[in-house]
A = this chain, B = another copy of it.
Amino acid sequence: PSHDSITCTVDDVASLSCLKSDQEVYFPFSFLKKHLDVSGKVKDGHFEWHTSYAKMRLPEKTYNSSGLFGHFATYSVETRERVKCINPLTGVPMSTQWSVTPYYYPIQIAQYGLEHYSRLLSQGEESRSVVVGTNSKEWRGAPGSLDETSERIFFVDDMEKKAVNLSTKDDISNPGVYVSFSSDPDLSTVSFSYKSHSPNSSFSILLTVKETDQLVVLHYVPREDDRCVWNEETNKMVDNQATFFYSFPYQWGEWVEITRDVMVDAARALSTMKGKGRTKKESNVILRAGDISIHSISFRGHLTIRQEIIQSRNEHEKAFLHAADWFVANQDSSGGWPVGVERKVADGRLSLPSGWYSAMGQGHALSLLTRAYEKKREERYLQTAEKALKPFGKMASEGGVRNLFFSHPWFEEYPTTPGTFVLNGFMYSLIGLYDYAQLEKKSPPSSFSSSFSTASSLFQEGLSSLRALLPLYDTGSGSMYDLRHVALNTPPNLARWDYHAVHVYLLKWLVAITGDEGLNQVADRWIDYANGKRAKHN
């Protein structure tokens, strides 16, 4: 059929080329997509319009506070563009979201821990692993190097099992003593224990990125460097080969356990190489299982190393416990984990000076510490969790995470004054409080009883606020990310579809916990919004 062109105007502004037949005018989807912020694509010969680009996931109908944490098993904190590195000493991620200098961000660390805990539960620990270095002949000087004669003494000791003492020149140009890895490309996580006897001892891992045939050297060097990972010479591949450094504070004369997911370390390292005109996001390198081959690990300086270097697919439990232990080690006297960077909110109208706490961080920590206690039954996890409740009782203006919205208490992801009342962070904080309170049923030491009732009261108090205030986030066609506009008199900050999906997920999660039919109705309505069904007008 033939159709004529007709000029269309939209609200007297946009002018575009439409088509017309006798009865109908047709608008181009390229305009609708932009004007309405919808998605569309051709599929199986027809064209699909989708109001929301985000997939609506729903949690399981029942929730267990020592079980999976949401769908965090599908998270990948390690591949986020804003994650600079997994710090080699603490074993937890560092962020560069709001500062070029990497810093510890409690929410991110907890999510990393909960991700690995959830993967551990859902996939189990991968049993396939190989052990290298047990045979003393595997420990060799680099072939052809000047230091092929590096001193090596092998010994067996009841305490230290089988070990190798080695002594080489400690400058980084020295290839040192190395052990070759198994060539199984899936086994790219490396774990070992060592003790250093000199300030400059270091180790290095050699690998190839298979698709591009890039040779990558990762040097782990004892140096306080706030870049965490960097490329010393240039920002470019030279001869399709690049060398990176991870900083690694010096530990004197103590056994240190190291676990590195080399695939992650290589991806984070390669991501530091900024391409011309590429955004940070575009520069972000993501590697997947099988994408690299690891070749060898080498050591230099004065070290004792256990003769058992484990190559495995992943070490979820270790990553999970590194995160939990980070929270035990880094809590301050107020019970919080201060964020060491300033946070500006609402185009700079609000700001949190360095040192702030997040209720979402506190809540995630509780979810993580609850699981760590269940797994290890170590009281230090309870002690840390108990203290983590304190900021929930303190107003934001006094350094806590609590704000009032028209007299309803709210736990603030960003505890500005006036408040912002971010919805998703608040709901995560409630789940953390709930998780910790559930430990009461698991025969913990009785000294923690009152902290469980505190957590439970905070949860109930927050739930009441959620019931009262949730309608204020409902736009009739979507949801609001926060309520910042109420105090600031700015336009409302609408949630984009992926956050809307998070809202629905969290509401359904809280419904699984509480059975609240009112919250469930809101969640169902919000699912309808994502499917283009809007509230009626009068």
Which residues of A come within 8 Å of B, CB atoms? 1-3, 5-13, 18-20, 23-30, 32, 35-37, 40, 42, 45-51, 405-408, 468, 471-472, 474-478, 480-481, 483, 485-486, 489, 491-496, 499, 518, 521-522, 525, 531-532, 534-538
Please tell me if the beta carbons of A9 and B46 are within 8 angstroms of each other in the complex: yes
CB contact between A492 and one of B407, B495, B535 (< 8 Å): that residue: B535
CB contact between A538 and one of B5, B7, B494, B532 (< 8 Å): that residue: B494
Residue of B nearest to A519 (CB): B489
Hey, which chain B residues are within 8 Å of A26, CB to CB? 18-19, 26-29
Please tell me if the beta carbons of B491 and A538 are within 8 angstroms of each other in the complex: no
- Expressed in whole angstroms, the minimum distance between the Cβ of A479 and any Cβ of chain B is 10
How far is it, in angstroms, between the C-alpha of A48 and the C-alpha of B14 when the chains are bound? Answer: 10
- Expressed in whole angstroms, the minimum distance between the Cβ of A30 and any Cβ of chain B is 6
Hey, which chain B residues are within 8 Å of A37, CB to CB? 537
Please tell me if the beta carbons of B49 and A10 are within 8 angstroms of each other in the complex: yes
Please tell me if the beta carbons of A25 and B28 are within 8 angstroms of each other in the complex: yes
Residue of B nearest to A538 (CB): B481
Please tell me if the beta carbons of B499 and A486 are within 8 angstroms of each other in the complex: no
Residue of B nearest to A17 (CB): B24
Grouping DSSP codes into helix (H, G, I), strand (E, B) and loop, the A interface class, with mixed when no group exceeds half, is mixed
Please tell me if the beta carbons of A474 and B499 are within 8 angstroms of each other in the complex: no
- Expressed in whole angstroms, the minimum distance between the Cβ of A527 and any Cβ of chain B is 11
Which 4 residue pairs spanning A and B have beta carbons closest together?
A406-B406, A26-B26, A491-B535, A494-B537
- Expressed in whole angstroms, the minimum distance between the Cβ of A347 and any Cβ of chain B is 11
Please tell me if the beta carbons of A25 and B29 are within 8 angstroms of each other in the complex: yes
How far is it, in angstroms, between the C-alpha of A146 and the C-alpha of B229 when the chains are bound? Answer: 115
Interface centre among A30, A47, A483 (most CB of B within 10 A): A47
- Expressed in whole angstroms, the minimum distance between the Cβ of A471 and any Cβ of chain B is 4
Hey, which chain B residues are within 8 Å of A12, CB to CB? 48, 531
Hey, which chain B residues are within 8 Å of A495, CB to CB? 537-538
- Expressed in whole angstroms, the minimum distance between the Cβ of A39 and any Cβ of chain B is 10
How far is it, in angstroms, between the C-alpha of A45 and the C-alpha of B9 when the chains are bound? Answer: 11
User: What are 28 A-to-B residue pairs whose CB atoms are below 8 Å?
Assistant: A1-B5, A6-B45, A7-B46, A7-B47, A8-B46, A9-B48, A10-B532, A13-B531, A19-B26, A24-B28, A25-B47, A26-B26, A27-B27, A27-B32, A32-B32, A35-B532, A407-B407, A468-B486, A472-B472, A474-B485, A475-B475, A475-B476, A477-B477, A478-B537, A491-B536, A493-B537, A494-B537, A499-B538
- Expressed in whole angstroms, the minimum distance between the Cβ of A22 and any Cβ of chain B is 12
CB contact between A474 and one of B7, B42, B408, B491 (< 8 Å): that residue: B491
Please tell me if the beta carbons of B6 and A47 are within 8 angstroms of each other in the complex: yes
CB contact between A481 and one of B42, B532, B537 (< 8 Å): that residue: B537
Hey, which chain B residues are within 8 Å of A483, CB to CB? 471
Hey, which chain B residues are within 8 Å of A408, CB to CB? 406
Please tell me if the beta carbons of A485 and B499 are within 8 angstroms of each other in the complex: no
How far is it, in angstroms, between the C-alpha of A518 and the C-alpha of B47 when the chains are bound? Answer: 44
How far is it, in angstroms, between the C-alpha of A19 and the C-alpha of B493 when the chains are bound? Answer: 35
How far is it, in angstroms, between the C-alpha of A3 and the C-alpha of B26 when the chains are bound? Answer: 11
Please tell me if the beta carbons of B489 and A475 are within 8 angstroms of each other in the complex: no
CB contact between A9 and one of B49, B405, B489 (< 8 Å): that residue: B49
Please tell me if the beta carbons of A489 and B518 are within 8 angstroms of each other in the complex: yes
The answer to whether A474 and B494 touch (CB under 8 A), given A1-B2, A28-B25, A538-B499, is no
Hey, which chain B residues are within 8 Å of A474, CB to CB? 485, 491-492
Extra A-B contacts (5), CB below 8 Å, given A7-B47, A406-B406: A9-B46, A468-B486, A474-B485, A494-B535, A494-B537
Residue of B nearest to A50 (CB): B11
How far is it, in angstroms, between the C-alpha of A36 and the C-alpha of B534 when the chains are bound? Answer: 9
Please tell me if the beta carbons of A496 and B47 are within 8 angstroms of each other in the complex: no
- Expressed in whole angstroms, the minimum distance between the Cβ of A46 and any Cβ of chain B is 4
How far is it, in angstroms, between the C-alpha of A475 and the C-alpha of B475 when the chains are bound? Answer: 5
Hey, which chain B residues are within 8 Å of A534, CB to CB? 494
How far is it, in angstroms, between the C-alpha of A451 and the C-alpha of B8 when the chains are bound? Answer: 57
CB contact between A471 and one of B32, B485, B535 (< 8 Å): that residue: B485
How far is it, in angstroms, between the C-alpha of A91 and the C-alpha of B485 when the chains are bound? Answer: 48
